[in-house]
Structure 1
Amino acid sequence: MKSKAVAAAAIAVGALWGTTALAAEPARVTAKEAETMVRKGVAYIKATPRDKAMADITDPKGAFVDRELYLTVYDMKGNALAHGANAKFVGKNLIELRDGNGKEHIRERMEMAKTKSTFWQDFTFLNPVTKKIEPKQMYCEKTPDELVVCGGIYKPA
């Protein structure tokens, strides 16, 4: 009788651990979620004083961060105005920043923004959730005042 109770308790604990393990790994962000977040950021920038908007977008606990999805905002010269994953980038010119494969992804992004108002870009970057360098697809929109607002999805390597 005692062994049945122990076995039942072990099964219950195992089931609980399984549920906890699944809850600890959030679902990956979708392309549609990234596009929606970027549009939300663009609308917020248009409706909010610039300094406040950039600070709010940079806030890692704010409305513009969801799991591994965060927004970045650059001017056309490659200056980071907001970065939801790394506030240390804000105020710096990152035009020569290279990804894990040596690609100057900020320079490429600014070149793409010269001819397109919306676009997707591929590169590799540190996923703030997994802490691994992973392939990333970034959706970007250029605002009428020449800001490039982006948010992306990571794909496991």
Structure 2
Amino acid sequence: MNKRFVAAVALVLGASLGISAVAAERVTPKEAEAMVKRGVAFIKATPRDKAMAEITDPKGQFVDRELYLTVYKMDGTAMAHGANAKFVGKNMMDLRDGNGKEHIRERMEMAKTKSAFWQDFTFLNPVNKKIEPKQMYCEKSDELVVCGGIYKAMN
């Protein structure tokens, strides 16, 4: 079924039930995991520069609502970022979330011992422009950590 049609139906149903449009379109954990797995496969099958450009493209196949992929090298350098191309090529190890947590540093530490994991932090939701709790699903693939996450609305 067409994604736009489904989104339109969700908006109408959400409005009729008193649910906000953003809540009606929230990404699920399964969708985040599936996109990360698609991203890992794409990186393995595509020349590195082309893969990183596609993942960074805000209109590309790896952006869906507030879900987008990020790709980091183990040293904290952003190789691709679907929500903010300005991060690409920069070492983000010292970046702190809205609560002061060094979430990139924590992510890289987790990737040293786990091949797949979920991480909690806060980040700017690119759809509603609010700082929200975020859960990021990550998979380590060779020397890269590929992640995509869901936002949780604050009550």
Same fold judged by TM-score > 0.5?
A: yes
95, 100, 122: which is aligned to 1:97?
95
Distance 1:21 1:117, change over 3 A: closer
**What displacement does 1:24 show?**
5.1
**What displacement does 1:19 show?**
3.7
| Structure 2 residue runs without a partner (length 5+) | 1-10
- Indicate the RMSD between aligned Cα atoms, in angstroms: 1.7
**What displacement does 1:146 show?**
1.2
Does 1:153 pair with 2:150? yes
Larger Rg over CA atoms = 1
- 1:87 maps to 85
51, 67, 70: which is aligned to 1:69?
67
Instruction: Within 5 Å, give how 1:103-122 maps onto structure 2.
Output: 103-122=101-120
- 2:139 maps to 141
- 2:3 maps to none
Identity in percent = 80
| Structure 1 residue runs without a partner (length 5+) | 1-17
Count of matched residue positions in the alignment of Structure 1 and Structure 2? 139
**Runs (4+) off by over 2 Å:** 18-26
